[in-house]
Structure 1
Amino acid sequence: MVPVFWHWLILGSALIALEAMVPGTFLLWPGISAFLTGILAYVAPGLGWEVHGVVFAVLTVASAVLGRRLYARLRQPVSDQPLLNKRGEQLIGSRHVLDGALQNGRGRMTIGDTTWSVAGPDLPAGTKVVVTAIDGNCLHVTAADA
């Protein structure tokens, strides 16, 4: 008769091998849990299959929760340039001159080589404005103080 711990080690190996072929980390946590359950089965061979099943379930949930917290911490990179590649957000607070009048709260304005939709109070062409917010590709502006 084959010792029970080999079943858990084989299951852990199979789950981690499948994890290598499937995107994400869905099978990693049960694979780790199966390995740990196999180690427990080796150290304490007298435990029944019921105990092994409960230990496997608890370890799977615990490793998934801990792994999710670890990944959440690793996925939030700290940058010295948080607005890099966020061109619209870089424009907030900048001052520009309206190319055309804002009528009914809408208009267009060219900044550099890009034409932006603009929303704000009705203003004549040539008015100096400050970008206060961005919504998609629409800049929200207000009249700049002289």
Structure 2
Amino acid sequence: MMENIVNMTPWHWLSIAVVMLVIEMMVGTVYMLWISFAAAVTAALLWVFGFGWEMQILVFTVVSILSVIAWHKYDLTRDKTSTRPNLNKRGHQYIGRTFQLSHAIENGVGKINVDDSTWKVRGNDAPVDTKVKVTGIEGTELIVEIIGA
């Protein structure tokens, strides 16, 4: 085992970097990315300077620790608020928009066409083609109010 560590080449370190990247893709924690980065840096420095196994381990360890700490500090300071908070909340994207009823609202329930889909709406009774504004959402039903009423 020790013989394998003593004879590490840049290709070994690049292989470690690739393995770490694959693990990162499966886990998705971001930290393995920086350990992979450290292995790639170690490979590059080993290729340029050709130092012994002790220095390789030291470089890998130091670069790993520094890059993970740097990422962690950056991650704490960055703004994590989304510029598109309703991206995965499809119905919430329609709040404030106006549409025409495709099916009359009868007994408080009707339908509107939104892009390529039909949404069930709740609101005051109104005939087909009445303009309505989406004011909220409950479950999969849009809450609407009649415009001009």
Residue 125 of structure 1 deviates from its aligned partner by 3.4
CA distance in 1, matches of 2:6, 2:106: 77
Matched, 1:35 2:35: no
- TM-score normalised according to structure 2 size: 0.50
Output the aligned Cα RMSD: 5.0
* Structure 2 unpaired stretches of 5+: none
Q: Residue deviations 1:99-126, cap 9 Å, x none?
A: 13244xxx12142774422134xx2232
Residue correspondences, number: 130
Identity of aligned residues (%): 20
Pairing 1:101-140 to 2, within 5 Å after superposition: 101-103=106-108, 107-111=109-113, 114-120=117-123, 123-126=124-127, 128-134=131-137, 137-140=140-143
Task: Say if 1:62 and 1:12 are closer, same or farther in 2 by CA, change over 3 A.
Answer: farther
Q: Structure 1 or 2: larger helix share?
A: 2
Match of 2:8, SS? helix
Unaligned runs of 5+ in 1: none
- The CA deviation string for residues 1-44 of structure 1, in whole angstroms up to 9 with x for no partner, is x9x89737344311233256557276442232123345289487
Equivalent residues in 2 for 1:9-20, closer than 5 Å: 9-18=10-19
Alpha carbons of 1:145 and 1:108: their partners in 2 closer, same or farther (altered >3 Å)? same
Q: So what's the TM-score if we normalise by structure 1?
A: 0.51
Change (3 A) 1:11 1:67: farther
Aligned equivalent of 2:93: 89
Distance 1:95 1:102, change over 3 A: farther
